[in-house]
Structure 1
């Protein structure tokens, strides 16, 4: 059938075009005949774009709508380009050739754009059509053979060979057909009189005019000519040219004179009087746009010309005499409208991928844009740019298509949203501009770890505090947002003095607020210093963390009564010296031998050797103690000392205590003394007199200082970012540790405490919060207390801890 023949031709043409494209390596182009059935495969789009099997659906291969009803679609499964609805070339492109549709194809993950050109080819689906089915002509019988009478030709909506028309006339001995030219605009069709007419013989001639196009098979259209033979006025007006060509700028003022027509009639009298008028076949649009002066033949503008709407007009004009019957001459006015720069560029956003992650790489496509200008030539050439230029830029992907890409790295913590404006300017004079604003949000990624306000927190707490008491408040800042900036706190396990128990058995930190709590009452005799780390972790993926070191110093209270002679009696003091500084010189002492429940113990930081229980005969006359001293360095270094203790009766013990003999070395030491009773008694009396004088003087000074500081608020917890100074002392001897220098203290013999720690901070103003309101931070009076605590420890416990 005819349709099958068309389909075969179309398939062959598609294959030829696709093969030509593959060889040329250029833009993707397809061709499809009009009127193709829905479902007809136009081309293997996914394969031609280089996508693998099944990748078209996974990467969402799709067409971008261009504002017109879509007649083609992309198959999600196969990635083929299919006809989805009826394609009518005449409806899409009219008489324009070739009829090419530009399609934009998007592929996501990653986002890419391709341009496909689809040519809709013409088939001979439109027969020639005359404007009327019957046309009446009046021809004077006086017309001479050879006279020519113009006829209006047929119109064919097709193009090319399918629109090339040929005409035939039904057989007649009086008339023949004259057809000149092939162009619709310049073709001339006329009826030639071949034999003189005789109205009395044949008053009316009826002929059939047939128009045939050049398609295969050819289609035809017919019109009946009714020719009336008139008497008398036998000369029709004649124009001085058959076609008038006029050019005019669009937007010209109303009333502008376009052309003046001129026709002549050789008759005389009324038969030579001519009037000018539009042909009866002229369209309504022409009558609305133009006007003609009947007497002068002047055609003027009475409507607004728009090049973008219609770029040319064909105006058939008739010159008619006033004879009876009147005769007419015909001509055609071809008006070409010239473009002016009256349309600003237009910018459309065809795709926008927001928000953009702040870690997006340079070159990431943020948006796809389409820019067009309805003007032509230089007036329609557009250049585009982005304002402000940073951090985005434009890249041209195709004629009129651009990609907004990332040119610089983003930082959401610095700028979380950008207002971008795409500007376009044409090449007209003066140039016209268009713009389109975009809002590009930046999404957060977890690229900032929590950071504490200070690296080291120093906290002072009195022993015997209540379980659940707040010791300090820690805070870490994370500039990220949402979960990436939500911080949780936890205690990171560290060592404690004496038994290396975990820090989590003493303190706890609230996961949300960062408040540091005491899990149990602190005992200075068990724990003097607790150092651990608090870790802050955000909720990002992956999570980031930050650490802060907490140094918790336990302040001693007078909560232990003096021991009777059964336990707690100081036997000797071991002292070691470390040439390092800082934590590398902070020493701790441990009793290595004998282990278990021996009769002696050693102070962790003081080095004092004292009785742990009442001595028994089973303990033997001599005890050999092996003491290990370690620093806090990484790695820790150690030394050992051996102490020999001789057990004597009560009377001998008094003499031994008065003499106070002990020795130590890095390898081995022995302790023992023998002294006469008279020498011991004399030495004891001297020291008693000195001690009484010193204690009396210090007591008077303490009373004065206490009165000055009585109303000062107390400090339960001290914390702050100032420099750390730690001093440890004992009755037998003293040593000190500081970040900047060392100092020595001398304390009277016989003190009841085995250890002393003083912290002298230098704090900035306290931060706001409940702790500050409750007076938990250091002020001037508290500094005074610390000073008093350092120099007069015994009276400090009495006045400041037991005053109430």
Structure 2
């Protein structure tokens, strides 16, 4: 069949319509290529001209061009050889996100005649993204009281790749306290957790530094890490502990108020308020200790606040508590032993008891005149007392026992030379500096009695015997004279002695000390004894030969001794004579 285009214009239009339809049907066929993401510029994708059935020499005349719905510069066609190549960097994650399918759709258009072709270029994923954790460093806080098995949720890592490239596994650096727990569902990671394997102890390890690693399934595999810092939170599981269970200190007596005695110190392994400590005395402490010492509740300083007297108390035992402020509070105890050190703050004391005052001048050597005792409330050398005597003279001190002395006569006395002595006894302790006390003793030396003894050969004794014999002879002659003599003697003895004749002796003891002075006098009362008291008897009278030992001086003493001796003899004889006369008259 021969068609003439000029002769039949309608046929010509029909032919062209059929031709365009055939061309469209042929062009509606879709080409499919693939390319790896991140391919370099110029990477071959496909021979698009050849695959579309186009002649290379027709590409330019027919206005061959490629159009894209997205970025048109990703792929390009070389019009010289009809090859589709990578024109710029293709990032699948940027282009398609985490979509499982990712393609670049191209429209290839040629004219003269018009043809439209569809080309799909699949962008294939490569493992070009490592796993990424939300935070490079994560802080986790866990109480030390949490029990083993406790689970703490964590955020896992993410991977921008798809498929095996995004399939992650996790690992944890070796730790005796923690392990990782990964829960999966159809190979999809759902959650990541940190599990406690053993009890935490903040006092042993307050912080744990863990490294968590995420590994993808790509070839080669890529990894991502996060640093996990676990801070162990404190609970009040530790009681305060004193540095020492017993503190031993020495404190001088009379220490002024405010003097530091000792510092007690306790520590607590907890933290925060759980380690804040308050010091206090034990609730059972005595009132005496509370009055003597002060305890600072914050610093643990124990200081003096009352009088410290060694003579009152030589040591103190103080119980101290340290209590933390946790909930519930915990406590520890210690003992403070305070030894009080003696100081020489007490003066020696002297006590003198006189035995033989006054002292007769004929008293034998060694006669004990007074007993002396000394004492000192201090201890050690401070309480060791020695006595001395000044002036020495005819007396000396003899130690009879510890802290006991006797004042004795060391040499003969001579009243005519010295009738009164004053000796000073000094008691001195061994302290440094030493303290001392003194006491004065006054000693009188009366003349020795010259009273005649029976059988004595002196002239006074002879005179007395002559008088006695004379009276006996007179009595034998006249009974009236005897009665008169006896009556005179009775009346003389019944009369009161003159004032002062029998007065008591008054030895005086005066004592003084370095602290003050004091004195006293001791009076020894002599019993007044006289015979013939009451109304006289005419028929029978008895006379006591004892007379009061009155201190007299000079010739009066001698005369008194003679009178006493004579009275003794007369009285004894008169009694015998009256008895004889009485029986004779019968």
Question: TM-score w.r.t. structure 2 length?
Answer: 0.52
Match of 2:218 among 419, 428, 432: 428
Task: Tell me, in whole angstroms, the C-alpha distance in 2 between the residues paired with 1:316 and 1:508.
Answer: 99
1:342 shift after superposition? 0.5
Task: Tell me, in whole angstroms, the C-alpha distance in 1 between the residues paired with 2:260 and 2:11.
Answer: 131
Task: Tell me, in whole angstroms, the C-alpha distance in 2 between the residues paired with 1:473 and 1:233.
Answer: 110
1:387 shift after superposition? 3.4
1:307 shift after superposition? 2.5
Task: Tell me, in whole angstroms, the C-alpha distance in 1 between the residues paired with 2:210 and 2:58.
Answer: 74
Give the corresponding residue for 2:452.
none
Give the corresponding residue for 1:298.
83
Map 1:378-417; keep pairs closer than 5 Å.
Answer: 378-387=164-173, 389-398=175-184, 399=189, 401-417=191-207
Matched, 1:285 2:75: no
The answer (yes or no) to whether the contact 1:531–1:552 under 8 Å persists in 2 is yes
Give the corresponding residue for 2:431.
799
In the TM superposition, what whole-angstrom CA distance separates every residue of 1:24-47 from its partner, at most 9, and x where no partner exists? xxxxxxxxxxxxxxxxxxxxxxxx
- Are the structure 2 counterparts of residues 431 and 351 from structure 1 closer, same or farther at C-alpha, using a change threshold of 3 Å? closer
Give the corresponding residue for 2:45.
258
1:549 shift after superposition? 0.8
Map 1:208-247; keep pairs closer than 5 Å.
Answer: 236=23, 242-247=29-34
Task: Tell me, in whole angstroms, the C-alpha distance in 2 between the residues paired with 1:374 and 1:476.
Answer: 57
- Are the structure 2 counterparts of residues 460 and 749 from structure 1 closer, same or farther at C-alpha, using a change threshold of 3 Å? farther
Task: Tell me, in whole angstroms, the C-alpha distance in 1 between the residues paired with 2:330 and 2:21.
Answer: 105
Task: Tell me, in whole angstroms, the C-alpha distance in 1 between the residues paired with 2:325 and 2:125.
Answer: 62
Match of 1:345 among 99, 122, 131: 131
- Count the aligned residue pairs: 362
Structure of larger gyration radius: 2
Give the corresponding residue for 1:449.
239
Match of 1:750 among 389, 395, 402: 402
1:301 shift after superposition? 1.6
In the TM superposition, what whole-angstrom CA distance separates every residue of 1:23-81 from its partner, at most 9, and x where no partner exists? xxxxxxxxxxxxxxxxxxxxxxxxxxxxxxxxxxxxxxxxxxxxxxxxxxxxxxxxxxx
In the TM superposition, what whole-angstrom CA distance separates every residue of 1:698-721 from its partner, at most 9, and x where no partner exists? 999xxxxxxxxxxxxxxxxxxxxx
1:271 shift after superposition? 10
C-alpha RMSD of matched pairs (Å): 4.7
1:275 shift after superposition? 4.6
1:548 shift after superposition? 0.9
- Are the structure 2 counterparts of residues 231 and 250 from structure 1 closer, same or farther at C-alpha, using a change threshold of 3 Å? closer
Secondary structure of the 1:503 match is helix
Matched, 1:476 2:266: yes
Secondary structure of the 2:72 match is helix
Matched, 1:373 2:169: no
Matched, 1:527 2:318: no
Task: Tell me, in whole angstroms, the C-alpha distance in 1 between the residues paired with 2:306 and 2:116.
Answer: 117
1:532 shift after superposition? 2.3
Task: Tell me, in whole angstroms, the C-alpha distance in 2 between the residues paired with 1:803 and 1:562.
Answer: 7
Give the corresponding residue for 2:559.
none
- Are the structure 2 counterparts of residues 333 and 650 from structure 1 closer, same or farther at C-alpha, using a change threshold of 3 Å? same
Task: Tell me, in whole angstroms, the C-alpha distance in 2 between the residues paired with 1:277 and 1:286.
Answer: 18
1:344 shift after superposition? 0.6
1:445 shift after superposition? 2.6
Task: Tell me, in whole angstroms, the C-alpha distance in 2 between the residues paired with 1:517 and 1:332.
Answer: 100
1:504 shift after superposition? 1.6
The answer (yes or no) to whether the contact 2:60–2:79 under 8 Å persists in 1 is no
Secondary structure of the 1:285 match is coil
- Are the structure 2 counterparts of residues 199 and 418 from structure 1 closer, same or farther at C-alpha, using a change threshold of 3 Å? farther
1:452 shift after superposition? 1.7
Task: Tell me, in whole angstroms, the C-alpha distance in 2 between the residues paired with 1:264 and 1:503.
Answer: 116
Task: Tell me, in whole angstroms, the C-alpha distance in 2 between the residues paired with 1:509 and 1:390.
Answer: 45
The answer (yes or no) to whether the contact 1:242–1:330 under 8 Å persists in 2 is no
Secondary structure of the 2:133 match is strand
Map 1:5-16; keep pairs closer than 5 Å.
Answer: none
Match of 1:515 among 301, 305, 327: 301
Map 1:71-470; keep pairs closer than 5 Å.
Answer: 200=10, 236=23, 242-260=29-47, 261-262=49-50, 263=52, 275=62, 277-278=64-65, 282-285=67-70, 287-294=72-79, 296-308=81-93, 309-310=95-96, 311-320=102-111, 326-349=112-135, 354-366=140-152, 368-387=154-173, 389-398=175-184, 399=189, 401-470=191-260
Task: Tell me, in whole angstroms, the C-alpha distance in 1 between the residues paired with 2:83 and 2:26.
Answer: 14
The answer (yes or no) to whether the contact 1:388–1:421 under 8 Å persists in 2 is no
The answer (yes or no) to whether the contact 1:445–1:484 under 8 Å persists in 2 is yes
The answer (yes or no) to whether the contact 2:246–2:334 under 8 Å persists in 1 is yes
- Are the structure 2 counterparts of residues 563 and 305 from structure 1 closer, same or farther at C-alpha, using a change threshold of 3 Å? same
- Are the structure 2 counterparts of residues 293 and 239 from structure 1 closer, same or farther at C-alpha, using a change threshold of 3 Å? farther
Map 1:46-65; keep pairs closer than 5 Å.
Answer: none
Secondary structure of the 2:73 match is helix
Give the corresponding residue for 1:545.
331
1:488 shift after superposition? 1.9
Give the corresponding residue for 2:289.
503
The answer (yes or no) to whether the contact 1:349–1:368 under 8 Å persists in 2 is no
Question: TM-score w.r.t. structure 1 length?
Answer: 0.39
- Are the structure 2 counterparts of residues 803 and 470 from structure 1 closer, same or farther at C-alpha, using a change threshold of 3 Å? farther
Moved more, 366-375 or 291-300: 291-300
1:561 shift after superposition? 4.6
- Are the structure 2 counterparts of residues 565 and 234 from structure 1 closer, same or farther at C-alpha, using a change threshold of 3 Å? closer
1:411 shift after superposition? 3.0
Secondary structure of the 2:235 match is coil
Gaps of 5+ in 2: 97-101, 356-366, 372-380, 387-399, 405-426, 437-586
The answer (yes or no) to whether the contact 2:385–2:430 under 8 Å persists in 1 is no
1:235 shift after superposition? 7.6
1:347 shift after superposition? 0.9
Map 1:604-623; keep pairs closer than 5 Å.
Answer: none
The answer (yes or no) to whether the contact 1:395–1:403 under 8 Å persists in 2 is yes
Gaps of 5+ in 1: 1-141, 144-197, 204-226, 321-325, 567-648, 652-680, 686-694, 701-747, 753-793
In the TM superposition, what whole-angstrom CA distance separates every residue of 1:618-637 from its partner, at most 9, and x where no partner exists? xxxxxxxxxxxxxxxxxxxx
Task: Tell me, in whole angstroms, the C-alpha distance in 1 between the residues paired with 2:385 and 2:348.
Answer: 21
